[in-house]
């Protein structure tokens, strides 16, 4: 295969993977925003953990981190400005991956990592993670709740 054809094939494969994982990206950023804003205080450690997640989770690192951060910021802004509508929108994004048990469990691990990153897995964060478990159709026991 010539260099051009291989590059084209690789580019197409990457776009297909991005398409397949777009719902996971949106769910992960929505869930992250819910957890980070749950206790009313956004900690630097939580944001650092979100950065680590974007760099290490295979389903997310195929995306430009700026795209992911923009989605996350939109959720955070909306949760502040229109909390009821924004929560509904965030949980809708989360429920879209509920029929994929592997993705749902990865998302739950992301939420737990962010919630526990500041060494204070607060009651409001635990409540949000419980609600995320419900939205994903996962037992709360998988989150240790």
Which alpha helices (DSSP H) does the chain contain, by range? 3-37, 44-56, 58-61, 65-81, 83-95, 101-116, 123-136
Mean pLDDT of 73-98: 96
Fold type of domain 3-143: TerB-like (1.10.3680)
For residues 1 and 72, give the distance between their C-alpha atoms in angstroms, rounded to a whole number. Answer: 40
- pLDDT at res. 29: 94
- State the chain's mean pLDDT as an integer: 87
Contact 125, 131 (CB under 8 A): no
Give me the residue spans of the domains in the chain: 3-143
Q: How much of the chain, in percent, has pLDDT values that exceed 90?
A: 55
Residue 8 has a pLDDT of 56
| Share above pLDDT 70 across residues of the chain, in percent, rounded to a whole number | 87
Rounded mean pLDDT, 135-144: 93
| DSSP conformation class of 82 | S
pLDDT exceeds 80 at position 123: yes
- Checking if the pLDDT of 13 tops 90, the result is no
């Amino acid at each position: 295969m010539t260099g051009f054809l291989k590059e084209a094939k690789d580019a197409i494969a990457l776009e297909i993977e991005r398409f397949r994982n777009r719902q996971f990206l949106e769910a992960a950023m929505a869930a992250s925003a819910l957890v980070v804003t749950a206790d009313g205080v956004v900690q630097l450690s939580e944001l650092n953990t979100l950065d680590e997640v974007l760099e290490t989770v295979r389903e997310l690192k195929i995306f430009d981190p700026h795209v992911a951060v923009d989605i996350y910021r939109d959720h955070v802004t909306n949760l502040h400005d229109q909390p009821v509508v924004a929560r509904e929108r965030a949980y809708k994004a989360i429920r879209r991956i509920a029929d994929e048990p592997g993705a749902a469990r990865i998302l739950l691990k992301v939420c737990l990592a962010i919630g526990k990153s500041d060494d204070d897995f607060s009651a409001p964060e635990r409540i949000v993670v419980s609600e995320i478990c419900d939205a994903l159709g996962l037992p709360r026991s998988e989150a240790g709740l």
